[in-house]
């Protein structure tokens, strides 16, 4: 009797999970795979084939965009790690008890406004008639307005801004769990600052670092608004190509294939990163 009730409640709890994952994640992705593998031979007539994928590899502009998106996303991930690590370390280890909570909350503030508003804010600051350009002119540093928008450096800066919180949060929670005695022991054994950082702190923080890097990389490669708004028409971000195929050209087959290429490419990079650092998904992102 008791056992039956337990089985029943397990089934009842499993049902929402199963419905969610099957109907909204697995089925749509299988459907997308199916559509990406068909070619239009005549109106409303389709044939199975790899044409959409071949088309991707035969057209340099497509895979160049993907490579560009990938390499810029890696750069953004690296920058977010280098810039975010000191902040996370400060919050977890150096700040006093009360400052810690406040600083952590301040880190989260940009998270509560949408990508769109953050990009809008940057535009108002950086454009030719924007705050920075006109302030510099007013101060006499420059004579003519400068356009800070629509170049790669600005896109990278905007992306780092958008994703750096997702680097800091896992780092703070890993570093928080680290015993200060480990660092002291490192110094007592004669290590200097860089040695302690390299041999003790970074290895300990590795799960947090990898977890942050995975999330940041995926978010960057899949981002759409920031590269378009800050980079303008020539930002050539891969998600833009997908949008273009879907909405502008109404070529769903090619769009689906592009979507899969992006998914495969980012998964491959994440898999490579995990292998390289000797971590797994369950020790990093799915850690609890």
Partner 1 sequence: MAIKPNIVFLTGYRIYVVVFFLFLAAPLVGAGMFAFNDSTFPSLPWRGFTLDWFFNDTEPKLGMFHDRRLMRGLYYSFVIASCVSMLSVFVGTCNAFLFVRYKFPAKDFLYIVMVVPLVIPGVILGISILLVASTIANGAEATLSLELDFLRPGIVLVVLGQFSFITTITSLVIIARLKKFDLSLEEAAFNLGASQVRVLRTITLPFLFPAIAAAGIVAFLVSFENFNTTLFLVGSEAPLTITMYDRMVKVGSTPVLNAVSFFLMVGSALLALVSVLVQRSKPLT
Question: According to CB under 8 A, which residues from 221 to 280 bind partner 1?
Answer: 221-225, 229, 239, 242-243, 246-247, 252, 255-256, 259, 262-263, 266, 270
163 close to 216: Cβ distance less than 8 angstroms: yes
Q: How far is the CB of 60 from partner 1 (least distance, A)?
A: 22
Query: By CB under 8 A, how many residues form the interface with partner 1?
Result: 83
Q: For 83-133, what is the HEC assignment?
A: HHHHHHHHHHHHCCHHHHHHHHHHHHHHHHCCHHHHHHHHHHHHCCCCHHH
Binding mask 141-180 for partner 1 (x = CB under 8 A): --------------------x------------------x
Q: How far is the CB of 207 from partner 1 (least distance, A)?
A: 14
Question: Binding partner 1 by CB under 8 A: which of 13, 67, 189, 202?
Answer: 13
The residue among 51 and 216 lying less far from partner 1, judged by its C-beta, is 216
The residue among 125 and 206 lying less far from partner 1, judged by its C-beta, is 125
CA distance linking residue 53 with residue 36, whole number of Å: 8
The residue among 51 and 254 lying less far from partner 1, judged by its C-beta, is 254
Question: Binding partner 1 by CB under 8 A: which of 1, 3, 16, 141?
Answer: 16
By CB under 8 A, what part of segment 46-105 binds partner 1?
83, 86-87, 90, 93-94, 103, 105
Q: From the CA atom positions of the chain, what is the Rg in Å? A: 24
- What sign has the CA pseudo-torsion 124, 127, 128, 133? positive
Structure tokens at 172: 């703070």
CA distance linking residue 105 with residue 269, whole number of Å: 31
Q: Is 1 in the site for partner 1 (CB under 8 A)?
A: no
Q: How far is the CB of 83 from partner 1 (least distance, A)?
A: 7
Q: How far is the CB of 78 from partner 1 (least distance, A)?
A: 17
The residue among 34 and 58 lying less far from partner 1, judged by its C-beta, is 34
By CB under 8 A, what part of segment 99-138 binds partner 1?
103, 105-110, 112-125, 129-131, 134-135
């Amino acid at each position: 009797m008791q056992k039956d009730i337990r089985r029943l409640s397990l089934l009842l709890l499993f049902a929402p999970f199963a419905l969610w994952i099957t109907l909204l994640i697995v089925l749509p992705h299988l459907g997308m795979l199916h559509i990406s593998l068909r070619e239009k031979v005549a109106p409303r007539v389709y044939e199975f084939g790899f044409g959409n994928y071949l088309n991707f590899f035969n057209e340099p502009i497509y895979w160049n965009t993907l490579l560009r998106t990938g390499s810029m996303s890696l750069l953004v991930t690296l920058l977010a790690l280098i810039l975010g690590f000191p902040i996370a370390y400060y919050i977890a280890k150096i700040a006093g008890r009360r400052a810690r909570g406040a600083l952590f909350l301040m880190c989260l503030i940009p998270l509560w406004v949408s990508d769109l508003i953050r990009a809008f804010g940057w535009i108002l600051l950086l454009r030719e008639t924007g705050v920075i350009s006109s302030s510099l002119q007013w101060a006499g540093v420059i004579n003519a307005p400068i356009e800070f928008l629509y170049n790669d450096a600005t896109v990278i800066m905007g992306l780092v801004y958008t994703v750096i919180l997702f680097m800091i949060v896992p780092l703070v929670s890993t570093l928080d769990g680290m015993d200060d005695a480990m660092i002291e022991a490192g110094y007592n054994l004669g290590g200097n600052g860089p040695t302690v950082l390299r041999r003790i702190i970074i290895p300990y923080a590795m799960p947090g670092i990898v977890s942050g890097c995975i999330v940041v990389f995926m978010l960057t490669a899949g981002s759409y608004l920031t590269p378009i708004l800050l980079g303008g028409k020539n930002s050539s971000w891969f998600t833009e190509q997908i949008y273009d195929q879907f909405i502008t050209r109404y070529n769903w087959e090619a769009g689906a294939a592009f979507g899969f290429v992006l998914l495969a490419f980012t998964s491959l990079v994440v898999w490579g990163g995990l292998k390289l650092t000797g971590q797994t998904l369950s020790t990093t992102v799915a850690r609890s």
